[in-house]
Amino acid sequence: GQNIDQPTEMTATEGAIVQINCTYQTSGFNGLFWYQQHAGEAPTFLSYNVLDGLEEKGRFSSFLSRSKGYSYLLLKELQMKDSASYLCAAMDSNYQLIWGAGTKLIIKP
């Protein structure tokens, strides 16, 4: 079956760095997406990886290892506004997204 695993909740301190991990099992693979979702709002696109390695985009970076079925989202210089849920989604061979349940990130002052 197809499955995405990510931690349910994480806590970090303002100004610090946090890494949110995601492992996936899909029938075929066409890329890994990260979305941010603030409470009561729609998911918004953060990053896309299809090749192994690290993609950096400002304070946010995303890493992919296809051989390990593993990705992480790295958030640097955390700000209070980064408190949100972070959704990992893998695109399968039919170009459908398989979604994880999301990681709720709590930022403390």
Partner 1 sequence: IAGITQAPTSQILAAGRRMTLRCTQDMRHNAMYWYRQDLGLGLRLIHYSNTAGTTGKGEVPDGYSVSRANTDDFPLTLASAVPSQTSVYFCASSDGLAGGSDTQYFGPGTRLTVL
Q: How far is Cα 32 from Cα 34, in angstroms, rounded to an integer?
A: 7
Q: Is 64 in the site for partner 1 (CB under 8 A)?
A: no
Q: Is 11 in the site for partner 1 (CB under 8 A)?
A: no
- Please identify, using beta-carbon distances, which residue of 69 and 102 lies nearer to partner 1: 102
Please report, as residue ranges, which positions from 15 to 34 form the binding site for partner 1 (by CB under 8 A): 30-31, 33
Q: How far is Cα 31 from Cα 14, in angstroms, rounded to an integer?
A: 30
Beta strands 53-57; 84-91: pairing state: unpaired
**Amino acid making up residue 108:** K
Q: How far is Cα 49 from Cα 41, in angstroms, rounded to an integer?
A: 24
Least distance in angstroms from the C-beta of 13 to partner 1:
26
Phi then psi for residue 80, to 5 deg, are -60, -35
- Judged by CB under 8 A, the residue of 39, 45, 53, 57 near partner 1 is 45
Q: Is 78 in the site for partner 1 (CB under 8 A)?
A: no
Query: Applying CB under 8 A, which residues contact partner 1?
Result: 4, 30-31, 33, 41-45, 48, 50, 87, 89, 91, 95-102
